[in-house]
A and B are shown apart, each in its own frame.
Chain A
Amino acid sequence: MKKIVALFLAVLMLLSFVGCASTGTETGTGEGGAAAADFKVGAIYINSKNDTAGYTFAHHNGIVTAMKAMGMDVDKQLFIVDEVPEDAEQVGAAVDTLVGKGVNIIFGISFGYIDAMETKAAEYPVVIFSHATGYKSNSTNFNNYFGRAYQARYLAGIAAGLKSLAIGNNNVGYVAAYGTEYAETASGINGFAMGVQSVNPDAKVYVKKLGTWADEVNEAAFAKELIDSFGCGVISQHCDSAQPQIAAEKANVFGCGYNSDMTPDAPKAHLTAAIWHWDVYYGTAIKAAMECGEASKFVEKMGTPAYYGGLKENFVDVSPLSENCVEGTDKAIAAVRKLIVDGEWDVFSGVKLSVNAQGEVVKTDAALVDNQGNEIVPAGGESVADSVITGTMNYFVAGVELV
C-alpha cells in the first residue's frame, strides 16, 4: 500500500513539475511567412510511410516530389506520423506531436480525420490544416482538397469503350470499393460509364462492390466473376491493388486500373489507368502556405476552402496508353481532354459527347438520366454542382447496373 501511495505521489509531482515548466506562450512560429529553408511540413498517414504502393504511398510520393521540386530538404523539413487510425484521440495526439515539432502546415490524408482536424485547427490558429477527401473547412487556416477523378475516369472510359467495340463485347465490368454509399465511388463509376458510352452507346457497365477500400482476395474474385458470369471484356476498378487487372490478364480480357499505371502488373491486359498527381496539390498548398504570411490567411491565399482540381490543373490524369489500346484512342482522348481543360464541357452536364477513334467529337443536348429513369440534369442543362459530385451523388447513371 505504501508503495502505491509513493508511486502515485511521485507521478503527481512529476506531472505538476511539467505543468509548471510549460507555462510558455502558445506554440507556433507565428513570425509571419517562413522561408523555404525553415518551413516545416507535417503529415498524418493512415498506413505506413514506407509503403511501396497504395493510397498512403501516393500521398507520400506527392508530398516528397513537391517538396523536392521546391528545393526543400525532406529529411529535415518533413515530419510524419503514420499508421494513425481514424480515431479522434490518436489523430489529436499526432497533431500535438507535429505542432510540438514546429510544423507550419499539417496534411491529413484520411477521411475519418475530419472532426479531429476541425477541432485542432481551432485550437492551433497559427498552424495550417489541410484535409484530403473531407468537406469541412474554415475561412482562415483549415481547408480540404480532392480532385475531379471522374474526369480522368471519363478518359479511361473512352479507352475501354473503344476496346469493347474492337472486341465486339458490350459488357464492361467494374470492381468498386463501394457503390452509391459514397459519392466518391458513385461519381467515379458514372464518369467511367459515360466515357465508355461516348464511344459505345450500347455498352453496359456491371458493378460489383467490395464493401471495403482494399481486399486483395475479393478484388481478384469479383473481377473473375464479372468476366465469367457477366461476360465482361474490359474490367475497370476503384480499389487499392492491381488484382482486378491481373485477373483480367489471366482471363485474356482487358482492363483499366486506378491510382497508378498498372501496365507493369498486367502488361497484356491493361489499357490505361485513372491516376492522381498529388504533388500538384501539395506543391500549390505548400507554396501558398509559405507566401500567405500567416496561417490565418491561408484559405484566402488558396482562393477557396475546398480545392477541387481536375484535368485542367493536371491534378488527375490517365497513365500513358499501353500497346493494348485500340489505334486512335489517343486522338479520341486528346479531343475530349481539350474540351474539359478549356472549360467548354464537363462530364455531368446536359450535353452528351459522341466520340470516335478519329478524334471527332459531336455534342448533343441530352438529359442526364439515372438508371431508374429519373432525370438528373435536363437536356442542355448546366453540370451537376461540385458539392453533389463530392458529397451527395447517390445514384448510378443509365447503363450502369449493380450486380
Chain B
Amino acid sequence: MGFHIVKRENCPWWQRLILYVAAVLIALGLGAVVLLFMGVDPIEYYYQMFTMGTVGNRIAYKTFMNYLKEFVPLALTATALSLAFKMRFWNIGGEGQFIMGSIAAAFVVFRFGPVLPMWLTLVLMCLAAMLVAGLYGSIAGVLKVKFGTNETLLTLMLNYVALYVLNFIGETKADWNFFLQEQSARPVFKNFSSIAAFPQFALGGKFQLNLCVILTFAVGALVFIYLKYTKQGYEVSVVGDSLGSARYAGMKTGWVILRTVFLSAALIGLAAAFKVGTAGVLSTSITDDVGWTGITVAWLAQLYTPMIFLVSALICVLQHGSMVAAATFSQVDSSFANMLQGAILFLVLAADFYTRFRLARVKKGEKKNG
C-alpha cells in the first residue's frame, strides 16, 4: 500500500483558482498561529495589514502614493525578469542591474540635468539607465552564449559587484564625486528632485498619480503583446522550451538569447530610472530588494504578464501593510512580512504541483512505474 505521483491531464481554471486561494489562506493561517503565540490578535493584525491602515486615516492618500512607489519598480522588474525566465535564462541579477541603472540615471541628472529641459533629462535618464543595465546584464548573456558559462552564478555575483560600486560612490568623499553633498562632513547622497522628477497628475483630492505608474502599465501591455503576438516573443518561448528544436527550426539561438537578456536587463534599468526619478536621491538601499522579490513575483504569476501585475499589487499590500500593522503591534517587527511571503510562495508552489500532478494509490499487485 502506498502512493505514487500521476500526471494530471487537465486541471480546470476554477480548480486551480481554488488551490491557489487555499494555499494563500493556509499561509495566512500559519501566520495567524505565529501571531497568536506572540500575543497579537491575528484578525486585528490582518485587518490593519490588508487595509494598510487607511481606514480612519486622514492621510490615506499618502499611503496609496507610497504604495504605488513600491508597486512600480516591483511590477516592472518582475515583468522584465519574466522575459528572461521564459527563455529559461535564470537572471538572478535583477538587484545588480537595478543598481547600475540607478547610478546611470543619477549620472545623467547630475551631468546634464542642470542644462537640459526637464523632459529631455527624464528621457535621457531612462535611456541611459536602460542601456547601462542592459549591457551589465548582457555580460552574463555573452559569456553564456560564447563559453556556456552558468548565468545563475554570474548574475548572482555581479549583484555584489554593483552593490559595492554603489557603496563606494556613497562612502567616498572626493572632488570627482558629484553624487554626494558637498557641504556635509559625512558622506551623504545629494538630492536632485529639483532638477529631475517625473510629473504627477492630481486625480481629485490630494492624491497625485505619478506618470511612472501609467508608463509601467503601458510597458506591461507591450511586454504582453511582445511575448504573445510577435515572432520574437515566439522565439523566446521556443528557445526556452527546447534549445535543440529552436536550432532545428533555424533560429539564431545565440542572438535570441542576447537580445532577450539585454531587453530583460534594460527593462530593470527602466524600473531603476522610474525609482530614481521619483525618489530624487540615490541610496545604498535603492533597490528595496525588488531584484529578489521580483523573482518570487514572476514565479507566483507563472510568468504571465497580467498575473505579474496582480501578484505585484498583492505582494506590495503584504509588504506595505505589514509595515503599517507592525507599527501598531510592538511584538511584531517588519520581518514578519518576509516570513509570510515565504510561506505564501512555498504553499503556492505546492499548490502548483497539485495542478499538474496528483497522488494516486498504488493498488495491490500493480507494478510500480518508477
Contacts and interface: CB of A to CB of B under 8 A. Distances in A.
Interface of A: 1, 3-5, 7-8, 11-12, 15-16, 18-27, 42, 48-50, 74-75, 78-83, 85-90, 92-94, 96-101, 111-112, 114-115, 181-183, 391-392, 394
Given A8-B217, A96-B59, A100-B60, A83 B306 contact: no
A75 B330 contact: yes
B279 A392 contact: no
Contacts of A87: 279, 283-286, 288
A190 to B, nearest CB: 16
B232 to A, nearest CB: 18
Nearest to A24: B58
Nearest to B60: A22
A100 B205 contact: no
Interface string B294-335: 000000000001100110010000001001101110110111
A115 B53 CA distance: 26
B209 A15 contact: yes
Contacts of B306: 3-4, 7
Which residue, of A4, A96, A97, has the highest number of chain B Cβ atoms within 10 A? A97
B225 interface: yes
12 contacts: A11-B217, A12-B203, A15-B203, A21-B205, A23-B206, A80-B330, A83-B334, A87-B284, A96-B66, A99-B59, A101-B328, A115-B188
Nearest to B64: A18
Nearest to A394: B185
A177 to B, nearest CB: 13
A20 B327 CA distance: 26
A25 B59 CA distance: 9
Nearest to A79: B327
Interface string B186-219: 1010010000000000111111010000000100
A41 to B, nearest CB: 11
Query: Shortest 8 CB-CB distances between A and B: which pairs?
Result: A19-B207, A85-B285, A87-B283, A19-B205, A22-B61, A93-B66, A87-B285, A96-B62
Given A85-B284, A94-B323, A97-B53, A22 B205 contact: yes
Given A19-B207, A22-B207, A80-B330, A89 B53 contact: no
A98 B324 CA distance: 8
Contact of B63 (A25, A100, A182): A100
B346 interface: no
B120 to A, nearest CB: 24
Contacts of A5: 221
A334 to B, nearest CB: 35
Contacts of B60: 18, 21-22, 100
B63 A97 contact: yes
Contacts of A182: 186
Contacts of A112: 188, 283
A122 to B, nearest CB: 13
A115 B191 CA distance: 9
Interface string B257-276: 00000000000000000010
B240 interface: no
Contact of B333 (A12, A82, A99): A82
B42 interface: no
A211 to B, nearest CB: 9
A97 B323 contact: yes
Contact of A93 (B313, B323, B335): B323
B50 interface: no
Contact of A90 (B224, B288, B310): B288
Contacts of A49: 330, 333
Contacts of B69: 89, 93
Which residue, of A48, A49, A75, A78, has the highest number of chain B Cβ atoms within 10 A? A49
A22 B58 contact: yes
Nearest to B209: A15
A71 B103 CA distance: 49
B26 interface: no
Contacts of A86: 283-285
Nearest to A103: B327
B10 interface: no
Contact of A89 (B279, B326, B334): B279
B283 A85 contact: yes
A339 B58 CA distance: 52
Contacts of B320: 93
A117 B159 CA distance: 30
B221 A1 contact: yes
A56 B20 CA distance: 39
B281 interface: yes
A274 B310 CA distance: 52
B57 interface: yes
Contacts of B285: 85-87, 90
Nearest to A390: B185
B54 interface: yes
A257 B150 CA distance: 47
A98 B327 contact: yes
A392 B59 CA distance: 39
Contact of B57 (A88, A100, A181): A100
A26 B285 CA distance: 30
Contacts of B68: 15
B106 to A, nearest CB: 13
A49 B38 CA distance: 14
B137 interface: no
B204 A20 contact: yes
Nearest to A49: B333
B185 to A, nearest CB: 5
Nearest to A14: B64
Interface string B4-19: 0000000000000000
Contacts of B333: 48-50, 82-83
Contacts of A81: 323, 326-327, 334
Contacts of B202: 19
Interface in B34-75: 53-54, 57-64, 66, 68-70
Contact of B191 (A4, A15, A20, A88): A88
Nearest to B287: A87
A15 B208 CA distance: 9
A115 B284 contact: no
A100 B63 CA distance: 8
